[in-house]
Structure 1
Amino acid sequence: MASKKEIFENNSKPKVNKSKKCCEFLNYVASCEKHNVFSVIIATIAIGIILFISLDECRKCFNNTKGIKCSQQKIQIVESEKRKVFGVYTLTNDDGFLHNLFDVLEKVGYQKKDFEESDNWDLLWAHAYPFRSLYSKLNNLKPHQKVNHFPGCGYITNKVDLATSGLKYIPPAFKLPEHKEKLLEYVRTNPKIQFVQKDNNHRNIMIRNISDIDLNQNGTFIQEFVDKPLLVSGYKFDIGIYTIITSVNPLRVYIYNGDALLRFCPVEYYPFDPENIDKYVVGDDYLPTWEVPDLKSYYKSLGFGMKESLNAYLRSKGKNPDVIWEQIEDSLRIVIMNKEPKIIEVINRFKSKSNFFEMMRFDFVVDEDLKVYLMEANMSPNLSSAHFPPNKLLFEQVIYNLLSIVGISQRIFKDTLAMNENETRMVSHNKNIAVYPKECNSDLCNNCDDLICGLCQQCLSKEMRLDLLTAYNEHMNKADCKRIVPPPMAKDGTIPENYSPKNQLMYKWFLGKCLMDKSWCN
C-alpha cells in the first residue's frame, strides 16, 4: 500500500489531459507537413528557375554559334569579293610554269583575271617583255597599278650587250662580226686562253678553236672561258642571285638575301674534256645541291639553304665565303648603275615611272681563287619547281619577299592596291622621311641650295617626297632582302663616284636615316 506521503505527492501533481496531448501531437504533425510542402514548393520553384536559366543559356549559346557560323559565311563572302586582281602576259597560252607565283599571289589575296578584258587590275605579271605590244595600255596606267618589268630592262638582260660591255667582273667578250679584229688581236696576245661561243639565247655553248668559228656570223659572241673554276665535290657550279630593282632615277636595288640558287654541272669537271659540255655548262638537267656529296649533309640533315650550305663547306676548307658575296654585290651595282641612263631614256617615253619594278636573276661563276665572274642576267627567271620540287620553298620565298618589298602584298585588307589619303598617311608620312634636323633648322637651308637642304621639308620637291616615302615603305617591308643600291653607308658620308644628282640625294637621305637609326646603314 502507498504511504500517505506518496498518496499526497501523487495527488499534488497536475493531472495531464490525454486529449490535449493528442491534439498537440496532431497539430505538430500538421505543422511538419505544412513545412514539408512549403519546402517542396520552394525546391520545385528553384529547380524550375535553374532549368529556365540553363535553357536560356543554351538558347543563347546556340544562337551565338549559329551567328558565328553565319558571320563566318559572311566573312568568307567578303573575302572572296575583296581580292585584288592580277593578269598574266606570256607569248603563249601556257602559263603553268608560273604555278608557284600563282600560289603565292592567291595566298596574299589576289585572283587571276584576263587583264585585257578590263582595266580594273592591280598587277600585270609579264613573262615576256611587254612594252612593245602593250605600249598603249602600259602608257596609261592608274597610279596603283604595278607591272613586273621596267621599260628598257633589256639593256641589262641582253646577253650580247652585257657580255661585251667591258665592265668589271665580266670575262672579256667580242661581238661578231663587229669585234672580229679585236678578238684576233686578243687571241694573239693570249694564246693559252680558251673561248666559248654563245648567242643571245645562251644555248649551244661550247669551247671552240678560233679557227673553227665563223667570225662573220651575226648574233653571236666569243667569250673567254673561266678554265679554273671553284669545284665542290669535283663539280663546277654557278650561283643565281635574285635581284630586285624598285626604282630608277633615283636608283634603288635589293637582292634576296635569304638564299641563292646553286646549280651544278652533272659530270665532274676533271678529267677535263671540251667535247663533253656537261662538265662545264650548267643546263636544265643540272645536279641539285641536295645531291652534291659535300653539301648534302648541310642541306638535307642540318636544314641549311643552298647559300649557307656552300658557306659552311668553304669555311670547313679554310676559305672565306664573304669574299664571294661582296664581289657579287659590287658587280650588281656596277652593271645596273652603268645601264641606268639607257633605261631612263626608255622610261621617259612613259607617263609614269612609279608603276614598274623588276626582278632578275644574275648568274655567276667563281674560280679557284674565289674571284667572281658575271655570266648573264635573266629577265624572267624560272620560278617553276616542276623539274626540281625541293626548289619550291626557295621560289615561294623569293616571290613572297618580292611582293612585300614592292608593296604588292599589302597589310591593308582591301580589294585594290589603291589607297586613299588617310590610308597613305597611316602607312608613312612626312615625319617618317624627315632627316638632318640641325641643318634643316639652320640658315644653311634658307635658300635650299645645299645638297642636304634638298631633303628638308621646306625644300623637298613633290616628286622627291614621293620617292622618299616609297623608299621608306620598302625599308619597312624588305623582310629577307638586302639593299645594295644605295650601298652601305660610308662612315665619312662620302658619296660614291659617278652618281647622278638624284642618286646623290637618295644616298644622302639614307645616310641621314642611318645617322638616326643604325638599321638604315646597310
Structure 2
Amino acid sequence: MSVQTIRNVFSVETGYRLSDDQIVNHFPNHYELTRKDLMVKNIKRYRKELEKEGSPLAEKDENGKYIYLDFVPVTFMLPADYNLFVEEFRKNPSSTWIMKPCGKAQGKGIFLINKLSQIKKWSRDSKTSSFVSQSSKEAYVISLYINNPLLIGGKKFDLRLYVLVSTYRPLRCYMYKLGFCRFCTVKYTPSTSELDNMFVHLTNVAIQKHGDDYNHIHGGKWTVSNLRLYLESTRGKEVTNKLFDEIHWIIVQSLKAVAPVMNNDKHCFECYGYDIIIDDKLKPWLIEVNASPSLTSSTANDRILKYNLINDTLNIAVPNGEIPDCKWNKSPPKEVLGNYEVL
C-alpha cells in the first residue's frame, strides 16, 4: 500500500477498522521517522531525554558535542530555526550547507549553499513568508554538508540499507544484508564552482541516470559486500567491522528515538530505506530514512536484490504464505529471516 492509502485507512474520517486477517506495510505515523524534519526533531528529543536520565549514551566532549549520539549532521528547520541557523553559519562562514524540502524524495528540490545571500534569494524566489514567521508554504531542513565524504575512484557514494520493523514496542528490527552503494557519475570536488552540479553531490539514481556518464549495466551501484571487501583491503578488517557496527548502532538508536511517538498498531510492519554517508575518517552519518524505498529495478542485479527483499519481507510478515494474521510472531525464528539479520 502507498503511504497515502495508509493515511486514508487510519484516518478518523473513514472510520475503517482493519480485521485480524489484514496487515499493512506502513505504520500510521511512519512520518515521525521518514519526514526529514520530524526525524531530526525526534532524535534531538531522544538525546535530551537520555541526558536528563543521566545516561552515559548522552555523554559530551569538552566542546559540548555528543560522543555517541553525534550521528546526524547539524540540522535546522526553515523557516522556524532561521535565526539559530544564521548564528551557526557565522561561526564557520566557509562551510557548505544542503537544503532539502521536508516532504520530497528522489533528490527533488535539493540544493547547496555557502553564502547567506543565497538563502535570502531562495526565500524571495520561493515566495515563502519572512523567515521570522513560523509559517511557510513548504518547510525545508538545512543541514551541514558532509564535505569530506569517503571517495572510491574519486567519486562520492552513499549506502542504501533496508531495515524491517515488525513492532516498535517492544522494538523488533532487522537489517537486510544485501544493501548497496549508490555512486555519483562525476568525480567529487568540494570546489564552490561545482556546488550546482548535482551529478557531483547527489547519489540519487533518479538524478544520476540522466548523467552522460551513467552506466546502465551496473547502474552506478556496488553491493555492500563489495564495499566491505574494498574497505578491509584498504583500511583493515578491524576498522571495517567497527564502521558496520556503528551503522547498525545508529539505525537502532534512530528507531529508539521514534518508538515512544510511533502508533504501534498490531496490523503494521514496515520496511525502511536508510541512507547513510561515510566520511573520510570512516564515520557514518544518517542522512535520511525513506518510507517507500524504490522497488523499481535499474539493472539485472537490482531486480534480483529487490525480488529477494520483497520475498524475505513477506516470508516474515506472512509466514508460509498463509492468510495474514495481525497476531503474527513479531520475533520470528532465525530460519525464516532469509537475508535479514536481527539488529
- The reply to whether TM is greater than 0.5 is yes
Match of 2:112 among 200, 204, 207: 207
Query: Given the alignment of the two structures, is residue 186 of structure 1 paired with residue 88 of structure 2, yes or no?
Result: yes
Counterpart Cα distance in 2 of 1:204 and 1:135: 29
**Greater RCO (CA < 8 Å, at least 6 residues apart):** 2
Does the Cα contact within 8 Å between 2:272 and 2:289 map onto a contact in 1?
Answer: yes
Counterpart Cα distance in 2 of 1:401 and 1:148: 14
Instruction: Write the letter of the residue equivalent to 1:146.
Output: I
Q: Where does 1:72-471 land on structure 2 (aligned, <5 Å)? A: 126-135=1-10, 139-164=16-41, 165-166=43-44, 168-200=70-102, 201-202=104-105, 203-208=108-113, 209-214=115-120, 216=130, 218=136, 219-257=139-177, 259-270=178-189, 272=191, 273-283=194-204, 284-286=206-208, 290=218, 306-319=223-236, 320-344=239-263, 347=264, 353-385=265-297, 387-406=298-317, 408-410=318-320, 416-417=323-324, 470-471=329-330
Does the Cα contact within 8 Å between 1:153 and 1:343 map onto a contact in 2?
Answer: yes
Does the Cα contact within 8 Å between 1:163 and 1:376 map onto a contact in 2?
Answer: no
Counterpart Cα distance in 2 of 1:418 and 1:375: 34
Counterpart Cα distance in 2 of 1:274 and 1:397: 37
Counterpart Cα distance in 2 of 1:291 and 1:134: 36
Q: TM-score, with normalisation over the residues of structure 2? A: 0.76
Q: What is the aligned length?
A: 287
State the structure with more CA Rg. Answer: 1
Instruction: Write the letter of the residue equivalent to 2:273.
Output: R
Q: Once the two structures are superposed, what CA deviation does each residue of 1:176-223 show, in whole Å capped at 9, x if it has no partner?
A: 121112111111222332111111214232221222103646311211
Counterpart Cα distance in 2 of 1:480 and 1:246: 16
CA shift for structure 1 position 367:
0.5
Assess, with a 3 A threshold, how the Cα gap between structure 1 residues 129 and 329 changes in structure 2: closer, same or farther: farther
- Contiguous gaps of at least 5 residues in structure 2: 45-68, 124-129, 209-213
Counterpart Cα distance in 1 of 2:252 and 2:175: 11
Does the Cα contact within 8 Å between 1:163 and 1:172 map onto a contact in 2?
Answer: no
Q: Once the two structures are superposed, what CA deviation does each residue of 1:1-39 show, in whole Å capped at 9, x if it has no partner?
A: xxxxxxxxxxxxxxxxxxxxxxxxxxxxxxxxxxxxxxx
Q: Once the two structures are superposed, what CA deviation does each residue of 1:130-185 show, in whole Å capped at 9, x if it has no partner?
A: 34322377852221211001111110000222245446311011111211121111
Query: Given the alignment of the two structures, is residue 473 of structure 1 paired with residue 332 of structure 2, yes or no?
Result: yes
SS at the partner of 1:161?
Answer: helix
Does the Cα contact within 8 Å between 1:197 and 1:221 map onto a contact in 2?
Answer: yes
| CA-based RMSD | 2.5
Counterpart Cα distance in 2 of 1:177 and 1:472: 42
Q: Once the two structures are superposed, what CA deviation does each residue of 1:435-477 show, in whole Å capped at 9, x if it has no partner?
A: xxxxxxxxxxxxxxxxxxxxxxxxxxxxxxx7xx824535442
SS at the partner of 1:130?
Answer: helix
Does the Cα contact within 8 Å between 2:158 and 2:183 map onto a contact in 1?
Answer: yes
Does the Cα contact within 8 Å between 2:147 and 2:190 map onto a contact in 1?
Answer: no
Q: Once the two structures are superposed, what CA deviation does each residue of 1:79-105 show, in whole Å capped at 9, x if it has no partner?
A: xxxxxxxxxxxxxxxxxxxxxxxxxxx
Does the Cα contact within 8 Å between 2:7 and 2:28 map onto a contact in 1?
Answer: no
Assess, with a 3 A threshold, how the Cα gap between structure 1 residues 232 and 475 changes in structure 2: closer, same or farther: same
SS at the partner of 2:250?
Answer: helix
Counterpart Cα distance in 1 of 2:170 and 2:16: 20
Q: Once the two structures are superposed, what CA deviation does each residue of 1:368-393 show, in whole Å capped at 9, x if it has no partner?
A: 111111111110110011x3343101
Counterpart Cα distance in 1 of 2:255 and 2:190: 37
Identity score, percent: 24
Does the Cα contact within 8 Å between 1:266 and 1:278 map onto a contact in 2?
Answer: yes
SS at the partner of 2:37?
Answer: helix
Does the Cα contact within 8 Å between 2:10 and 2:28 map onto a contact in 1?
Answer: no
- Contiguous gaps of at least 5 residues in structure 1: 1-125, 296-304, 348-352, 420-465, 485-522
